[in-house]
Chains A and B, each alone.
Chain A
Amino acid sequence: EAGVAQSPRYKIIEKRQSVAFWCNPISGHATLYWYQQILGQGPKLLIQFQNNGVVDDSQLPKDRFSAERLKGVDSTLKIQPAKLEDSAVYLCASSLEKGEQYFGPGTRLTVT
């Protein structure tokens, strides 16, 4: 079975620029998650979708971060404008309802 796909794998941008990340979950997984993993820390949940609806976005910095999952399958996470402290690995995960989460390889973002 194909795993969670993410692109790009690496991205370097300057502060105040915008960036977008894409995620395609495992087929049939209704729940999709975006995490931010800062170096030396565990992943922190940014937003969780159930199909195309948002379940939890309480830790998403909504002034600069946005995410959508329009057709209930793949998802896009956007940062506009980026700050230096946004440098991190952005992980996408998917699961069946409340089952274990399966993670993609992540996108490593460097903001200079």
Chain B
Amino acid sequence: AQSVAQPEDQVNVAEGNPLTVKCTYSVSGNPYLFWYVQYPNRGLQFLLKYITGDNLVKGSYGFEAEFNKSQTSFHLKKPSALVSDSALYFCAVRDWGDYKLSFGAGTTVTVRA
């Protein structure tokens, strides 16, 4: 079975400060890892993914994520947060041999001006 944990329901940061959203995962095989963002009344938008290769993955809107196999983590980061980054962020995982994507419960990010 595969699962994702997002330990923080909410993250609050000031604009211009670094932003980190935490994610840990559990899969039986090699993981495919994803981050999605959801704005109010909108569907999920793909930010980035890790399949294989470099542990640091760069994605849309200046976001990046670091895959850490020993800690089974895939934290999302942005060096300088914007007010417009305020949204709901979901981490997701699937086993390399499977189609099924399992999502975390989500982390609400609030960036204050």
CB-CB nearest in chain A for B45 = A103
Residues on B with C-beta less than 8 A from A108 are: 41
State A101–B44 Cα separation when bound (angstroms). 9
**Bound CA span A48–B92, Å:** 16
| A41 & B99 in contact (Cβ 8 Å cutoff) | no
Q: Point out the residues of chain A lying under 8 angstroms from B105, CB to CB.
A: 40-42
Q: How many residues of A contact B (CB 8 A)?
A: 25
Contact B99 A106 (CB under 8 A): no
In the assembled complex, the Cα of A41 lies from the Cα of B108 at a distance in Å of: 11
21 contacts between A and B (CB under 8 A): A6-B43, A31-B99, A40-B105, A40-B106, A41-B106, A42-B4, A42-B90, A42-B106, A43-B44, A43-B103, A48-B100, A50-B99, A55-B99, A56-B100, A91-B43, A98-B32, A100-B46, A100-B49, A104-B43, A105-B41, A105-B43
